[in-house]
A = this chain, B = another copy of it.
Amino acid sequence: MTTLVLVSHPHLADSTSQQFLKASLPTNADIVWEHIESQAHLDIEKEQAQLRQADRIILQFPLYWYAAPAGLKQWEDTVLTRTFVYGDHRYPLADKELGIVVTTGMPAKAFQRGGAEGLTLDAALAPLAAVAHRAKMTWLPTFAIHQFAYLEEPEKLQLVVDYQRYLTQTQPDSLQSRQTWFAQKLPGMIDQLPPEQQATGRLIEAEFAQQQDDLDALADTLSLIKERDDD
């Protein structure tokens, strides 16, 4: 699966959250990463080709005034020509997944009726969702990072894993998809650990395999109970 990550930020080098996400990109995965504002000029042919080749497209940006920065809108207005997106009923983006990675300076609770921002992230992102709808794309649940600056170290570690999963894990984000993803990624992750931590890594891998067996057994039991309930 190819994932295209399009980052929009007017001052990328100064953004600690964007630098953190860049350093967290999955290795051993088919990822194309681009910073929109770094393009001297938007090469429409190249941008459209990248979109065509991707299976999952991620738009990643800080929320400025309840929308993406002007750079992403410029990209939309330039690259997403009507002919490309839905002209002649060809829909080259149909069935591709569109995911949003959005950072906000306010806590999650601000984004609701009565909250400081007064509207949900879903409402703020409705224009982008409408683009996805027009292009017949599949809209993924939004990946929101609130107040990155206040995250503690364990939360940041969790963020790395969740972000990598958002970019590469099979959708929907079910227990099954998550298990499969971890089973595939764990060996590679452990290989990258420093030698003195390899043993710990193998222990985690064994523990994970054991837990997976336990979960499978539990799932069997649950489905048996469910069958009985249905009688």
Which of A123-131, A144-152, A160-168, A190-198 contacts its partner? A123-131
Q: Is A134 an interface residue (CB 8 A)?
A: yes
Leading 6 A-B pairs by shortest Cβ distance = A66-B127, A70-B74, A70-B73, A66-B130, A67-B127, A73-B73
Query: Would you call the interface of chain A mostly helix, strand, loop, or mixed?
Result: helix
If A123-B123, A123-B126, A124-B126 touch, whether A131 touches B74 (CB-CB below 8 Å) is no
15 contacts between A and B (CB under 8 A): A64-B73, A65-B73, A65-B127, A65-B130, A66-B126, A67-B67, A67-B73, A68-B73, A69-B73, A70-B70, A70-B77, A118-B133, A119-B133, A124-B130, A126-B126
| B-side contacts of A129, CB under 8 Å | 119
Q: How far is the CA of A123 from the CA of B131 in the complex (A)?
A: 13
Q: Is A102 an interface residue (CB 8 A)?
A: no
Docked-complex contact A131 and B77, CB < 8 angstroms: no
Q: Is A26 an interface residue (CB 8 A)?
A: no
Chain A positions within 8 Å of B, measured between CB atoms, are: 10, 64-71, 73-74, 76-77, 80, 117-119, 123-124, 126-131, 133-134
Q: How far is the CA of A123 from the CA of B77 in the complex (A)?
A: 19
Q: How far is the CA of A134 from the CA of B66 in the complex (A)?
A: 11
| B-side contacts of A117, CB under 8 Å | 130, 134
Residue ID in chain B nearest A67 by CB atoms: B127
Q: How far is the CA of A70 from the CA of B79 in the complex (A)?
A: 12
Q: How far is the CA of A131 from the CA of B118 in the complex (A)?
A: 10
Q: How far is the CA of A123 from the CA of B122 in the complex (A)?
A: 10
| B-side contacts of A70, CB under 8 Å | 70-71, 73-74, 76-77
